[in-house]
């Protein structure tokens, strides 16, 4: 969240170096059935005598293999799905695990008991029915073991679980789509610039107007990035080098938000530049003063979000920084009393290890999991690849309950320049720039302090070098990246872009929903693609905090 800077419009934008040069029933069925699938896989060893007749170690013919995508994203299958007499068979343990199913094994009956959200089912290996209460649901093919892995018919999704299943013949891909579920939608707020103002994404019209039914009328809340911590521990709302400060017109943001029932959390940012934050939180007196200052500065808001970044990169100070952060959170919670406290945390599979996720998860009312910024500056890569985000959620749920986790979703991508000299990260283009789909009237790059609409050479993306296919400029959604990918050439230089769009927003919303998370938090309002709220409501049912 820290690559923003202050601009001439008293708001937020990307730093100059990051400019871009260019039905309830169905839900219950879904939950119980997925649980049963996990139980099949989790106990598909020689525990059950009924498993033996269905066991097989035969390899699957390449012609029979198929690809299965859940909500446009891959699944961690231990063996490849395949067709058996027209029926798609899949190993579903990985799928069930991704859905947060709890599994227990009943050794007396050789049955697996799988449950989630109060719904449970029983399944016996070797049978072609699933039992839910007193009802039996037939499976088109019996459960089998193939190369030591339990497989079941995918048709189970459409017939019992309320999922939508479609088939792409050209790519031999089965597309499985989840039903809509209730989810909290939060946004990180910054006024931005005249072009990249957060106001419009929140209130549906240009400042200071408000549309008839803006996203703010259904969103759960906003995190107002208006406070920051100086090196000496003082909390300020202007003049901080990061640019985190109150923008002009901030009272209107609060007024319009509260008129629509939005939770308004004051976000307090600090960065461990040259160990300054580490020093503050490890000193008992400075730490106590900081907690008091944060509470005093944010007293008029509905809640507080702490975004202290950069702790734990150095192994020698990780433990002491964890202890200092824990003590700070404890002190702050004491000062703010019953007021809700949220904490933004880097993922456990990231570089920063100075955070005790379990302790913070217990003290805070909820956390924001910043599952992005995984990009490698020297190797073309997306900011939030599917495998890293999926792993981050799994790891976080081991220490923090899912109903206390908001999944952070990035609204920016990455753009790399690749030449004989190597690869360099050129910029982080905003989703709003619609890279590859819109081209400026003039090929010249803009000179505003926000993301622009030109390409790295200052030429229009509409032109393609001779001999190159025009399709090279068309973004394609890549499941393994969980975003769209675009590549083009300019002479001897290749540009590779990983682009966040409405499609990637929907995929991440569904990923959070399937894992039973509290909701999502978008970084940030103001750089989202047009129609972003329509995408949200197409895959989720926005809800307010209870």
Stretch 489-513: mean pLDDT: 94
HSE of 435, CA atoms in CB hemisphere, 13 A: 36
Q: Using 50, 70 and 90 to split pLDDT, how confident is the model at 87?
A: confident
Dist. CA 87–CA 71, nearest whole Å: 20
- Stretch among 23-32, 136-145, 179-188, 356-365 having the lowest mean pLDDT: 23-32
Question: When comparing pLDDT for 193 and 405, which is higher?
Answer: 405
Dist. CA 434–CA 530, nearest whole Å: 9
Dist. CA 471–CA 151, nearest whole Å: 38
Q: Which residues contact 103 (CB under 8 A, 6 or more apart)?
A: 35, 38, 39, 42, 43, 96, 112, 113, 114
Residue 10 has pLDDT above 50, yes or no: no
- At 215, list the tokens: 């996203």
Residue 93 has pLDDT above 50, yes or no: yes
Stretch 325-343: mean pLDDT: 97
Question: When comparing pLDDT for 501 and 458, which is higher?
Answer: 501
Phi and psi, residue 128, nearest 5°: -110, 30
CA distances from 231 to 158, 236, 298, 516 (A): 57, 11, 19, 38
Q: State the pLDDT at residue 151.
A: 76
CA nearest to 250, candidates 239, 266, 231? 266
Q: State the pLDDT at residue 169.
A: 87
Q: Which residues contact 243 (CB under 8 A, 6 or more apart)?
A: 4, 5, 6, 7, 12
- Do 264 and 301 contact (CB within 8 A), yes or no? yes
Residue 36 has pLDDT above 80, yes or no: no
Q: State the pLDDT at residue 98.
A: 63
- At 280, list the tokens: 């503050």
Stretch 230-248: mean pLDDT: 92
Residue 101 has pLDDT above 80, yes or no: no
- Stretch among 192-196, 264-268, 429-433 having the lowest mean pLDDT: 192-196
Global confidence as pTM = 0.83
Edge-first strand order for the sheet with 483-490 is: 422-427, 414-419, 493-499, 483-490, 476-478
Dist. CA 331–CA 281, nearest whole Å: 11
Q: State the pLDDT at residue 106.
A: 76
Q: Which residues contact 261 (CB under 8 A, 6 or more apart)?
A: 217, 544
- Do 484 and 503 contact (CB within 8 A), yes or no? yes
Phi and psi, residue 523, nearest 5°: -105, 105
Give the position of tokens 């039905």: 23
- Do 318 and 356 contact (CB within 8 A), yes or no? no
Dist. CA 216–CA 202, nearest whole Å: 5
CA distances from 415 to 427, 454, 474, 502 (A): 5, 12, 15, 18
Torsion region of 457: left, alpha or beta (phi above 0 gives left; psi -120 to 50 gives alpha):
alpha
Q: Using 50, 70 and 90 to split pLDDT, how confident is the model at 27?
A: very low
Question: When comparing pLDDT for 282 and 112, which is higher?
Answer: 282
State which H helix or E strand residue 269 sits in.
strand 263-271
Residue 19 has pLDDT above 70, yes or no: no
CA distances from 111 to 126, 130, 135 (A): 11, 11, 16
Q: Residue ranges of the alpha helices (H) in 373-518? A: 386-397, 502-514
Handedness of CA 425, 426, 430, 431 (dihedral sign): negative
Q: Which residues contact 502 (CB under 8 A, 6 or more apart)?
A: 529, 531, 532, 534, 535
Stretch 437-461: mean pLDDT: 34
- Stretch among 242-251, 328-337, 449-458 having the lowest mean pLDDT: 449-458
């Amino acid at each position: 969240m820290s690559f923003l800077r202050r601009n001439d419009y008293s708001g937020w934008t990307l730093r100059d170096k990051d400019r871009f040069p260019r039905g309830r029933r169905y839900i219950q069925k879904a939950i119980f059935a997925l649980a049963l699938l996990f139980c099949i896989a989790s106990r598909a060893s020689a525990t059950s005598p009924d498993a033996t007749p269905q066991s097989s170690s035969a390899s699957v013919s390449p012609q029979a293999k198929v690809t299965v995508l859940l909500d446009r994203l891959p699944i961690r299958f231990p063996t490849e799905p395949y067709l058996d007499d027209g029926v798609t068979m899949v190993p579903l343990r990985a799928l069930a695990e991704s859905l947060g199913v709890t599994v227990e094994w009943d050794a007396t009956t050789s049955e697996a008991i799988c449950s989630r959200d109060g719904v449970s089912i029983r399944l016996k290996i070797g049978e072609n029915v699933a039992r839910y209460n007193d009802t039996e649901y037939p499976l088109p093919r019996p459960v089998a073991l193939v190369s030591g892995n339990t497989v079941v018919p995918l048709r189970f999704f459409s017939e019992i679980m309320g999922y939508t299943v479609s088939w792409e013949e050209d790519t031999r891909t089965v597309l499985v789509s989840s039903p809509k579920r209730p989810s909290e939608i939060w946004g990180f707020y910054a006024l931005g610039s005249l072009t990249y103002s957060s106001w419009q994404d929140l209130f549906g019209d240009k400042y200071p107007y408000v549309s008839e039914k803006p996203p703010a009328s259904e969103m759960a809340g906003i995190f107002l990035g208006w406070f920051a911590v100086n090196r000496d521990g003082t909390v300020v709302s202007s003049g901080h080098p990061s640019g985190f400060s109150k923008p002009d017109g901030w009272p209107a943001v609060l007024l319009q938000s509260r008129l629509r029932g939005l939770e308004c959390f004051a976000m307090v940012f600090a960065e461990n530049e040259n160990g300054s934050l580490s020093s503050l939180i490890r000193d008992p007196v400075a730490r106590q003063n900081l907690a008091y200052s944060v509470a005093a500065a944010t007293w008029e808001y509905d809640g507080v979000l702490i975004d202290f970044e950069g702790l734990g990169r150095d192994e020698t100070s990780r433990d002491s920084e964890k202890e200092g952060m824990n003590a700070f959170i404890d002190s702050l919670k004491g000062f703010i009393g019953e007021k809700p406290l949220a904490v933004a945390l880097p993922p456990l599979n990231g570089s920063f290890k100075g955070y005790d996720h379990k302790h913070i998860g217990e003290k805070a009312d909820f956390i924001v999991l910043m599952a992005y910024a995984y990009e490698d500056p020297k190797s073309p890569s997306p900011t939030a690849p599917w495998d890293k985000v999926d792993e981050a959620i799994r790891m976080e749920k081991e220490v923090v309950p899912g109903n206390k986790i908001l999944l952070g979703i990035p609204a920016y991508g990455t753009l790399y320049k690749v030449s004989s000299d190597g690869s360099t990260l050129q910029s982080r283009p905003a989703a709003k720039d619609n890279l590859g789909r819109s081209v400026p009237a003039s090929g010249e790059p803009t000179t505003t302090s926000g993301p622009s609409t030109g390409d790295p050479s200052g030429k229009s993306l509409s032109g393609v070098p001779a001999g190159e296919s025009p399709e090279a400029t068309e973004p394609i959604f890549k499941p393994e990246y969980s975003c769209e990918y675009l590549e083009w050439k300019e002479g001897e230089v290749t540009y590779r872009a990983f682009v966040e769009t409405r499609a990637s927003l929907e995929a991440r919303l569904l990923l959070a929903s399937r894992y039973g998370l509290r909701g999502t938090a978008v970084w940030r309002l103001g750089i989202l693609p047009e129609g972003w709220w329509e995408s949200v409501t197409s895959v989720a049912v926005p809800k307010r905090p209870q």
